Copies of this chain bind each other. A is one copy, B any other.
Amino acid sequence: MSKVVTMAEAVAAYVPDGATVAIEGFTHLISFAAGHEVIRQRRRDLTLCRLTPDVVYDQMVGAGVARKLVFSWLGNPGVGSLHAIRRAVESGALEIEEYSHFGMVGRYAAGAANLPFYPLRSYLDSDLPAVNPALRTVRSPYDGEEIHVVPPLRPDVTIVHAQRADRDGNTQVWGLLGCQKEAAFAAAHVVVVAEEVVDPQVIRADPNRTLIPGLVVDAVVHCPRGAHPSFAQGHYDRDNAFYLAWDAVSRDPARLAAWLDEWVYGTADHAGYLDRLGADRWTGLTPGPARSGTVDYGDYR
């Protein structure tokens, strides 16, 4: 019954060429390890979905895995541009479909809830609807008000990194929750990548903390530090030096190719990547403790 597999197995099974893929996480818990494995397996023609195509999508686009990008904010947060993506967009090599954050979240929510559209108050007097025909309006049957709607987004696979999951894929996350829940429920397949694979009793001890049930999860990958250089609340901080350094790498196609050779193609898996990174890298990235406290659910017999 266990769904625990290696990252290589998960990507081989659930990320075929041409798939629509969402590796979600808003600055937090971004599965770089999954992105790297997609590159290693040399996938092609993917449609990559994500509110914030981060450095991991820059790496993936730089490696040539993508045909199209569906997004709402395109940048290296706090640093500047994602140069590989920007080159591909400006040259026309990468098709784009563009929303706002709320629009993207609404799209996942419509997918997760099996709704034909999701209504939201945005895009008023904006030029976005003029360049994206998927942004439409619906008239309220109550007051006649027109409101914008977005269509459902249903990825073929959603990949999320989490602090912990059990072997059936029951997943708990704390800190920033982004839109991982919606992206998971919206998808045909879900891969959960976890810092820790825990006993089901750990999950069941705090049912309100469960973000994604194993019911919608196909594979669980145990991959500590798999979100590096992004962060995992309570586990490690964002490796900001990496984000800053990426700018120069990404500006230069040759340097980018060399980086991929060394860090992705040149490593067998995420353990290899971590070996190359070295233990010293984590100095200063480990937070002190800040425990949540407990609540009592009560034993009712």
What residues make up the interface of A, taking CB atoms closer than 8 Å to B? Answer: 114-117, 119, 121, 136-143, 145, 147, 149, 151, 163, 172, 174-175, 177, 202, 205-206, 208-209, 233-235, 237, 287-301
Contact = CB atoms under 8 A, between A and B. Distances in A.
B299 A295 contact: no
5 contacts: A116-B147, A117-B140, A138-B140, A287-B298, A291-B295
Contact of A116 (B142, B163, B208): B142
A296 B292 contact: yes
Pick the 3 closest A-B CB pairs, nearest first. Answer: A287-B298, A116-B140, A288-B299
B292 A175 contact: no
Contacts of A117: 119, 140-142
Given A115-B119, A119-B115, A138-B138, A298 B209 contact: no
Copies per complex of this chain: 2
B301 A296 contact: no
Contacts of A233: 297-298
Contacts of A295: 163, 172, 174, 209, 234, 291-292
A135 B208 CA distance: 32
Given A294-B294, A298-B235, A208 B177 contact: yes
Contacts of A237: 298, 300
A102 to B, nearest CB: 11
A151 B142 contact: yes
Contact of A300 (B141, B147, B177, B287): B287
A119 B121 contact: no
A228 to B, nearest CB: 15
Contacts of A119: 115-117, 119
Contacts of A205: 290-293
Given A116-B145, A209-B295, A292-B297, 8 more contacts: A116-B142, A119-B119, A174-B295, A205-B292, A234-B298, A235-B296, A288-B301, A289-B299
Nearest to A301: B288
Contacts of A202: 293
A284 to B, nearest CB: 11
B208 A297 contact: no
Nearest to A232: B298
A209 to B, nearest CB: 7
Nearest to A139: B138
A206 B295 CA distance: 10
Nearest to A163: B295
A138 B136 CA distance: 14
A117 to B, nearest CB: 5
